[in-house]
Amino acid sequence: MSVKVKMAFLGFICLSSLALGCVELAMLYHDKTVSNAPVVALQEGSAITGRWETFDLVINYQYTKKVDSLKISAQAALSSHYQMTYDKLAKMRVYIFFLDKDSRVMETALFADTWSSNTRDVQEISSSYKTPPGTAGFSFGYSGQVRDGKSTDNFYKLPLD
């Protein structure tokens, strides 16, 4: 076999291995149960306002649900613990999980991926989604990293069980 054919074959094997290891975002955490975070029961009709809160993150949201769509706007901020202890948000990713009646993840979507680097800033977020059939509620999940001059802290709340 020529060197070019061997290299092409090796490249194909490497790419195939990578592709098989990837999971589509919508299927991330599929069938996992949200048991360690608040769950919002969906109501159809006019705008519904609420607050979703954990030790790490506070999201004040307003949503409108119509048939198979969800329009949601929110103001999200790190909790006072991180605001007082750290000054830099190195990274932050927030997901929205569409849940069935038993709080199992049916589908995952990215809610916010771009944040300012200041831990005290409030993030304005607005998104629209097509909800999967049978969606009874939603929840959020996140992973982030904060820093100060001396230390780094990683935090997350994801349906890992």
Residue 9 lies in a domain: no
Residue 15 lies in a domain: no
pLDDT at 28: 82
The count of structural domains within the chain is 1
CB 129 within 8 A of CB 141: no
User: Per the confidence metrics, is the pTM higher than 0.95?
Assistant: no
The residue range of the domain holding 69 is 25-157
Residue 120 lies in a domain: yes
Q: Which residue has the tokens 């919002």?
A: 40
CATH of residue 91: 2.60.40
Low-confidence ranges of the chain (pLDDT < 70): 1-23
Residue 113 lies in a domain: yes
* pLDDT tens digits, 103-150: 999 999 999 987 889 999 999 999 999 999 999 999 999 999 999 988
Residue 12 lies in a domain: no
Residue 104 lies in a domain: yes
pLDDT at 14: 39
What are the residues whose beta carbons fall under 8 Å from the beta carbon of 124, sequence distance 6 or more? 73, 74, 75
